[in-house]
Structure 1
């Protein structure tokens, strides 16, 4: 990015010293809001028989207008980040999008695979935003970890709509002029431009366009969050495209309860792939059945037994039955060896014997 922190670009955005992936955080001088700013190189002009000329300012403004037109019809939704502006300045196309406080999903996923139910929560937020776009007759085209912000409250917001539109318009412009269907040569140029601009990132290389491509990209994103890797090899673009065309993603072992949904999202046949409304229903059902707490029980951790006091249950006069903390001492009584009928006569005889002994002692002392 050809700009330094503190510099104002596009006459409106003051850059900060906090980069965020490919973009850089900036402050909108008009509104005071924080935005995420991207810089795309505008192509130079190649004229046969002449030296290469610099970018045409009018051509850059035309690309910016087309990118803005592709995003300005996007509906407002709590799970969609707001596109701000695309503006050409000299040899750069600046793209600004809303950036609330939070963490990029790419940074969050870089720490390792997410628990299945947390990944399902994030996917449900993204599916809600995509559902609103699809209802409006639009497609996103840039569903990727770098386009998602996870806010402080855990909600996932989908951005990158304006950036994706600008990148596609820039690649189309590099393919050649005209709004008609590209010729084979132009299609090859567009492919070369996309390979240089986007790189071998699986989410951006669906075999089709439109809402079905968004659902496929959501499946790729879910697989990446759950396993820590892409479902297709990303060593280079030819290898990636060959694997996508073959329709054989990686094993679903690490996807847990989301494996059936991810497998269907990654199907090559569009008719066999669930729509975004069905995806939302399945995610809601899965989240509703989530155990607490999220994630597997840590290995080596055992639950301590709950010790209960011994002793009989004693009902409190003013409350429920409770268990005494200490057992009371119980004294055992042995049954008498004599029958109860003989106890009275024996007692009388004993008294008489004592009286006789007392008389004998008195007579002896007196004599």
Structure 2
């Protein structure tokens, strides 16, 4: 999966630097000149369960490329959704291209422990908006994890990994064939016990469940289910036995609803975004002067340092559509009249005392 700077992969992308971990491999599209990030998906024949030794290995590149192209064509544009561009096989690697933006993976920012509930609410509202666009296009994202979320320079969260997730699921289906057990074994080898990728249902409810897992992880510093081995994880997910959500603060009711085993009992992406915005409207943190405004286009800079905002506060300068609740007066209105009368009497008594003292 290695590619050196200057090398052209998949006949289209010239590598311009070395891999930056989960962010991908920086490259340039030689056809359009656009900056992209490349992610490589290995196509190892050794993963094929029951494949005869010495028999010709099947080619999965064209099938995966067609599936990725289908998803890319159907995906809608959204300011919180990274655009998946294309995929192309080369040797035993499928290269998936995604637009490049300035930012760092959410996984890196979350590595220092629990995140402020109101900062998590901001991130969650951004991701719910991206999922809403995916679902309205008739797609399932299926790859919502800390590694596929980028935090941009303005603090906004952007969701990527749509095409890579589609390629991974298509590869699992191709390797497993029509035998569910083989598909499971292939997914186990490829994905491992990462809770966000193992929803018990499919479609949009699986994405909102994964969002609940991610919110829990950000709020507490660990996942809601045991992840030391896959059978234990799947049993806990199936039975709805997640760790207590005590550390989720004001987001606890929403997180617990998102983690319900019954898909019909979970809120959809629209409801999640609305609830998180309502929570942010009354966030009791210093410097928060109003509720979040409508989604704005995210600046997509060519380069530049990430400027994280300490304390988890809201992005400065976001427009508001209503003012924060006014503070109550320090003196209740019903006591104002008696206090004024008492003050007048005190002044009269003081004046009489002065007159008596002078006359005497």
Q: Which TM bucket (shorter chain)?
A: 0.7 to 0.9
- Select 1:51's aligned residue among 54, 63, 83: 54
Q: Check whether the contact 2:173–2:183 (CA below 8 A) recurs between aligned residues.
A: yes
Distance 1:90 1:12 in 2: 14
Residue number in structure 2 paired with 1:79? 80
Which runs of 5 or more structure 2 residues have no equivalent in the other structure?
289-310, 314-356
- 1:209-358 equivalent positions in 2, closer than 5 A: 209-293=202-286
1:125–1:55: structure 2 CA closer, same or farther, 3 Å change rule?
same
Residue number in structure 1 paired with 2:7? 7
Distance 1:191 1:6 in 2: 38
Which runs of 5 or more structure 1 residues have no equivalent in the other structure?
177-181, 298-334, 341-367
Residue number in structure 1 paired with 2:192? 199
Distance 1:50 1:138 in 2: 37
1:296–1:8: structure 2 CA closer, same or farther, 3 Å change rule?
closer
Q: Check whether the contact 2:144–2:211 (CA below 8 A) recurs between aligned residues.
A: yes
Question: Bigger relative contact order, structure 1 or 2, given CA contacts below 8 A and separation 6+?
Answer: 2
Distance 1:48 1:42 in 2: 14
Residue number in structure 2 paired with 1:164? 165
Alpha-carbon deviation of 1:106? 1.1
Q: TM-score, normalised by structure 1?
A: 0.74
- 1:7-26 equivalent positions in 2, closer than 5 A: 7-15=7-15, 16-21=17-22, 23-26=24-27
Distance 1:257 1:52 in 2: 58
1:242–1:22: structure 2 CA closer, same or farther, 3 Å change rule?
farther
Structure of higher CA gyration radius: 1
Residue number in structure 1 paired with 2:327? none
Residue number in structure 2 paired with 1:41? 42
Distance 1:213 1:273 in 2: 10
- 1:96-107 equivalent positions in 2, closer than 5 A: 96-107=97-108
Distance 1:25 1:150 in 2: 17
Q: Check whether the contact 2:68–2:86 (CA below 8 A) recurs between aligned residues.
A: no
Distance 1:252 1:103 in 2: 27
Q: Check whether the contact 2:23–2:104 (CA below 8 A) recurs between aligned residues.
A: no
Alpha-carbon deviation of 1:44? 2.9
Alpha-carbon deviation of 1:55? 5.3
Residue number in structure 2 paired with 1:351? none
Distance 1:233 1:261 in 2: 21
Alpha-carbon deviation of 1:22? 7.1
Residue number in structure 2 paired with 1:67? 68
Q: Secondary structure at the match of 1:40?
A: strand
Alpha-carbon deviation of 1:281? 1.4
Q: Secondary structure at the match of 1:170?
A: helix
What whole-Å deviation, never above 9, does each CA across 1:114-166 have from its counterpart, x for those lacking one? 10000000010011111122222221111111111111001111111100000
Q: Check whether the contact 1:55–1:91 (CA below 8 A) recurs between aligned residues.
A: no
Q: TM-score, normalised by structure 2?
A: 0.76
Distance 1:22 1:52 in 2: 37
Alpha-carbon deviation of 1:52? 4.2
Distance 2:113 2:58 in 1: 42
Distance 2:37 2:186 in 1: 24
For the aligned residue pairs, the C-alpha RMSD in angstroms reads 2.6
